[in-house]
Amino acid sequence: MEKISHPNQLLEWKSDVIANRPPYVKTIVISSGTCGQASGSLPVIEALEQELLKRNLKNKFEVKITGCHGFCEMEPNLIIYPDGIFYKKLKPKDVPKIVEETLLNNKIIPSLVFEEARTKERIYEQEEIPFYKKQKRLLTENNFKIDPTKIEDYVALDGYQALSKVLFNMTSEEVIEDIISSGLRGRGGAGFPAGKKWEICYREESQEKYIICNADEGDPGAYMDRSLLEGNPHSVIEGMTIGAYAIGASEGFIYVRGEYPLAVRHVTNAINQAREKGFLGTSIMGSEFQFDIQVIEGAGAFVSGEETSLMASIEGRRAFPRQRPPYPAQKGLWDKPTNINNVETWANIAPIIRNGAEWYAGIGTKGSKGTKIFSLVGKINNTGLVEVPMGITLKEIIYDIGGGIKDNKKFKAVQTGGPSGGCIPAEKLNLPIDYDTLAKAGSIMGSGGMIVMDESTCMVDIAKYFLTFTQEESCGKCVPCRIGTRQLFEILNRITQGRGEEGDIKKLKSLAKTVSSGSLCALGQTAPNPILTTLKYFLEEYEIHIKEKSCPALVCKDLIIYYIEPKKCVGCLLCLKSCPVDAISGERKKLHVIDHDLCIKCGACLEVCPPKVSAVSKYTGTKKEKLMKKTSPKRVKK
């Protein structure tokens, strides 16, 4: 491959790529990120290739394999252009029909079309599906159009033109000024203005400076960075290179979680392509600027997502955080000025430079500009990655885009910001989402995880879940974090086991204060947030656990029983056979009974009981006590 050594060559290359495209009749775009592959996209792709080959249609129809389309619930899915027909949840056996009817005869196959869960309306056009319609996909839209293994696809969409613009038409100061006035804030969690950070690093005098892309996306429930790296890796590389030019760095690192093998592969491949084409390396695009990027694979420690820990990890040490200041922008990697931003922040840079800071600042709210990608997951109908303008309300995200709560249950809360964030209750549904409103509500934006919970989610259990997580992931450097998170977990564990005591809530609150004020890094400082927000909005639920030893959401194992309703049981033996500990007795067509002494509450009986029978229920509190007496083994034997 020939290197690009002049801005005009890039424009020529772009025109060539577009002009040389074979005259396909239709393009079939199949999403095949990690989610897609996990749901079976690869056999569908294989079947499609085979079918086209068999019918000698390969020159008429293009198959484009892309990263994540965001609508993970409907994976594996495909879109047929130019009409934009969206087919969902595909199996290899659907392929011949798609080729015959839709590709060759322009007929839509109703059974593969998306159906809105609440209204039952069938919508065949991708853009018209409510999940996509209300989004503003500045960064994720290109995931539809780009084969992430092909640099040509990125170049055809004006890729590397922002880099060309800064290298040949802008000074470092002008680039930084653009990023500052765009209002872009770091997408990794704290929301520090990105341009300001660059400016601090730029002003530091040093022979060596470094650029880091934080792709150690450890927040459980967030995966937008994976999706960007898998689906559009060049956008991150271009952003980083612009950042390097602005602050004067010549070396960069992308620190990716080892748990994201596909992202590692795609970004490594993209870096090699960028080098071959002269977008990385010495004399980039013929200018005097040089910069290169290395991929570092993380080794599985949540704390290494914290910037100072991440740098320790790159240096080959344990990922321990350290005191700030000095900030990385002053003293970072190997004590040199280092600018660290996360994947989504880097992906925003090229569009800002291309379209101008004013354009970007026109999107969003007063204090938070642009769009944010959220991972909308949990008990919601349309799960997936959604990109929305800042300032959209929770209600719009959950009901208009997300299609409401699964199985028509009642919305209870949404958890944002991962283990550092908190739970926002139903009464705050009209909250416009940005950095500042979320903080005011007691949570944080974090990296953008949004886990929706319904009435069957126990808030004490959720707090316990996050503390299980943080106490395991605490690096151990600060005692309040190491021991405090453990103690917080122990108290919550006791409460969920029915051993809660009066005074526990006070203890939780006071210990939470100690942990957050006595820890060096954000992991410890924010670890109590899940407890504090659930206490703030769901205090009653804690009190019921402690005083009545019952779990209203029917989640905490020690506080519930499984019970077979005598009036509903048809004696089909299904639950009896599924029970791993033989705790269910009964005969065909006779009532089945659970022995509560043997039952381990695994839930297998509830899962296998046919929906139209639904004889297995869960009970807690006084009803539970009553039923336990009624069905004690002695009584049953009689």
Q: Which two tokens stand for residue 125?
A: 């056009």
Q: Which of 130, 384, 446, 552 binds other proteins (CB under 8 A)?
A: 384
For the chain, the distance separating the N- and C-terminal CA atoms, rounded to the nearest angstrom, is 85
- For the bound state, the minimum distance from the C-beta of residue 604 to other proteins, rounded and expressed in Å, comes to 5
3-state helix, strand, coil in the chain (%, to 5): 45, 15, 35
| β-pairing verdict for 26-31 and 78-81 | antiparallel
CA diameter of the chain:
92
Cis previous bond, 425, omega within 30: no
| Closest CB to other proteins among residues 375, 529 | 375
Q: Closest Cα partner for 248 from 345, 163, 173, 335?
A: 173
| Closest CB to other proteins among residues 65, 314 | 314
> Three-state SS string across 527-588, please?
CCHHHHHHHHHHHHHHHHHHHHCCCCCCCCHHHEEEEECCCCCCCCCHHHHHCCCCCEECCC
**Residues from 99 through 118 that contact other proteins (CB under 8 A):** none
| Closest CB to other proteins among residues 69, 369 | 69
| Positions of E strands within 60-191 | 61-66, 78-81, 85-87, 114-115, 122-123
**Residues from 572 through 611 that contact other proteins (CB under 8 A):** 578, 580, 602-604, 607-608
Judge contact between 424 and 432, C-beta under 8 A: no
Q: Which of 47, 340, 377, 444 binds other proteins (CB under 8 A)?
A: 377
Phi first, then psi: what are they for 334, rounded to 5°?
45, 40
- For the bound state, the minimum distance from the C-beta of residue 300 to other proteins, rounded and expressed in Å, comes to 3
- Does 560 help bind other proteins (rule: CB under 8 A)? no
d(CA 236, CA 263): 12
Q: Which of 375, 519, 526, 529 binds other proteins (CB under 8 A)?
A: 375
Q: Which residue has the tokens 């992430």?
A: 148
Stretch of 86-94, 113-121, 172-180, 315-323 contacting other proteins, by CB under 8 A: 315-323
Stretch of 166-174, 299-307, 427-435, 583-591 contacting other proteins, by CB under 8 A: 299-307
- Does 251 help bind other proteins (rule: CB under 8 A)? no
- For the bound state, the minimum distance from the C-beta of residue 319 to other proteins, rounded and expressed in Å, comes to 7
- Does 75 help bind other proteins (rule: CB under 8 A)? yes
**Residues from 435 through 474 that contact other proteins (CB under 8 A):** 449, 451, 453, 457, 462, 465-466, 469, 473
Q: Closest Cα partner for 561 from 609, 599, 614, 605?
A: 599
For the window 203-222, what string marks contact with other proteins as x by the rule CB under 8 A? --------------xxxxxx
- For the bound state, the minimum distance from the C-beta of residue 158 to other proteins, rounded and expressed in Å, comes to 28
d(CA 310, CA 313): 5
For the window 6-45, what string marks contact with other proteins as x by the rule CB under 8 A? ----------------------------xx-xxx------
- For the bound state, the minimum distance from the C-beta of residue 446 to other proteins, rounded and expressed in Å, comes to 12
Q: Give strand pairing partners of 81.
A: 27
Q: Which residues bind other proteins (CB under 8 A)?
A: 34-35, 37-39, 72-73, 75, 217-223, 226, 257-261, 296-302, 313-319, 375, 377-379, 383-385, 415, 418, 449, 451, 453, 457, 462, 465-466, 469, 473, 475, 578, 580, 602-604, 607-608
